Amino acid sequence: AAQFVASLQAGAGDASIPKPYIDALKIVCDKAPFRPFSDMAKVIEEDFGKPISEVFQSVDEEPLAAASLAQVHRAVLKDGTEVAVKIQYPGLLEQMASDFAVFRMFGQQIKPGGFDLTWVVNDFEVSISAELDFMIEGKNAELTGKDFAHQKYAKVPKVYWDLTTKRVLTMEFVTDMVPTNDAAKLRAAGMDPYKVGCMLSDLFAEMVFCTGRVHGDPHAGNVYCILDKVTKEERIVLLDHGLYHDVDNDLRRSFSDFVTACVARDGAKMKSLGERFAGPLYRFFPIILSPWFVFGSKIQLEDIRAAKEKRIPPGVKLKEVGEFLVGLHDTGGNLLGVLHSMGYIRGILNCLSFPERRRLKSFAKFAALGGAYEVEPRDEDKVPAEVLVPASAMAVVNVDILALLITVLAPLALVVLVLGKRTTAGIAAAILALILGTLYNHLY
C-alpha cells in the first residue's frame, strides 16, 4: 500500500493529466488513509521507553497529514513549544521486506524487449529503506538548511534531536502553510503565485546545478509556502527530507554545461555532452528538460510526428530506450532520480501556469554558476564574481533569444505537422522555418 500511495503522488501536480485525476490524486499527497492514534502512540512509547505523557505535554490524536510511510501529529513539548511529530506506521519494516521479495520475483521474470527491470526494484528498495530511518531524514534536513541559509526565502523546519529516533521525527511546527500548487489559495493568503513560482524554480535549479543535493520527493504535499510574519514576504517550506539524490561534482558540472549548451543552442556541445547521458538517443535528451531545447538538437521532423502520435520514433529500438534509462541511472549520482525530482517541480509550476521562459531562466542562471565551479560548491574557495556574473547574465539573454525563436517558429512547426512533409505548403513552411532558424543562430 505504501508503494502504491507513493507512486500516485507523482501524478498530483502534472498539468498533462486531466483535472479530475489531479484532484483525486491530491488526496494521497498528505491526506492518505491514517492509522488509529493508539497504534501510533505505541511507536513513540516503544522508541522512548516511557509513556507518551512523559515524552510530550500533549499530542493531538487527529493527524495533520498522512502519507505512504508515516503520519504527522501536532504536539506540545513540556516547555509549551508546538512541534510536528512524524510517526512511522508500526510494522512497516517487516511488511516492506515481504513486499520487496514479491517485487524482485516479478522484476526477474518480466523483461519487456529484453530489458532487465531488477535494478528498478533494487533502487526502490534502497530508497525506501533510507526513508524508513528518520535519523537520516533529520540529517538531510539540517544539510539542506545549511545549503540554503543564504536564501531567505527557503525554510527547513528545525529538528529536535532529543525527541527523534529512527521511527519518530520531531520538528518545528510551521503554521499557515499553503500548498505551492494551488494559485487560488496562495492569492487568498496574500501571496503572489508568480513570485512563489520564481522562488521554487530558483531553489531547485540551485539544488541541481550548484549544491549537488536534490530533494528526492518534492511533490505538492512536501513543498509549501508561508507569508513571513515579520517581513511579509513569501517563503518556501520544504518538508520530508527522507530521500535525496547526491550528484557527484563531475556529473553536476557536466549537466550544468549541457544545460548551458542547450540554452545557447550549441549543437556540437549538446551532442558531445548528451551522448554521455543518453548514448545513441542523445538527440532526445534536450527536450526531456524543455521542448524549447529543440533548437540546436538533432531532433528530426519524424521524431516530432512520432511524439505527436504517441509512438516510438523511427529507428529507435525498445532495447535502446532501456539502455538510455539505465545510463541515466548509472551516472555519478543517479541522474534519472534528479530528472524525476525536476518533473515534480515542473508539475507544480504547471499548476501555477508558470511561464516556461522564466523556468528556463532559473536553469540558465544556476547552470552557468554550477558549470563555473572548479571545486565542490560548498567549499570556501568560490569562483570570482567577475567570472560568474557575465556568464549567468549571458545565459539569461540566451533564454530570451530562445523565447523569440519559439514565438516566430512555433506556428510554422504546427503548419508542417498538420499539412505534412509532402505538400507544397508543408515544404515551404519547413524551408522558411529552417531559414529563420539559421538566421537567428547566426545573429545571436
Total residue count of the chain as it appears in this document: 444
CB 179 within 8 A of CB 198: no
Integer Cα distance of 158 and 142 in angstroms: 8
Is 30 one of the annotated active-site residues of the chain? no
Q: How far is CA 276 from the centre of its chain?
A: 21
Report how far residue 78's alpha carbon sits from residue 80's, in angstroms, rounded to the nearest whole number.
5
The two beta strands, 70-76 and 65-66, are antiparallel
Greatest CA separation for the chain: 82
Catalytic position from the list 47, 217, 246, 257: 217
CA 370, distance to chain mean position in Å, is 18
d(CA 182, CA 196): 11
Using the CB atoms, write b or e for 121-140: b if 16+ within 10 Å.
beebbebbeebbbbebbbeb
Q: Which of 113, 101, 44 is nearest to 72 (CA)?
A: 44
d(CA 438, CA 408): 13
Listed residue (42, 354, 423) closest to 200, CA to CA: 354
Contact between 88 and 132 under an 8 Å Cβ cutoff? The reply is yes
Question: Do residues 180 and 223 touch, judged by C-beta distance below 8 A?
Answer: yes
| Cβ(253)–Cβ(335) below 8 Å | no
* Rounded Cα distance, 178 and 163, in Å: 26
Provide the pairing of β-strand 168-172 with 82-88: antiparallel
CA distance 84 to 224: 15
Q: Are strands 234-238 and 154-155 parallel, antiparallel or unpaired?
A: parallel
Angle between helices 267-278 and 318-330 (to 10 degrees): 90
For the annotated catalytic residues, the residue numbers are 217
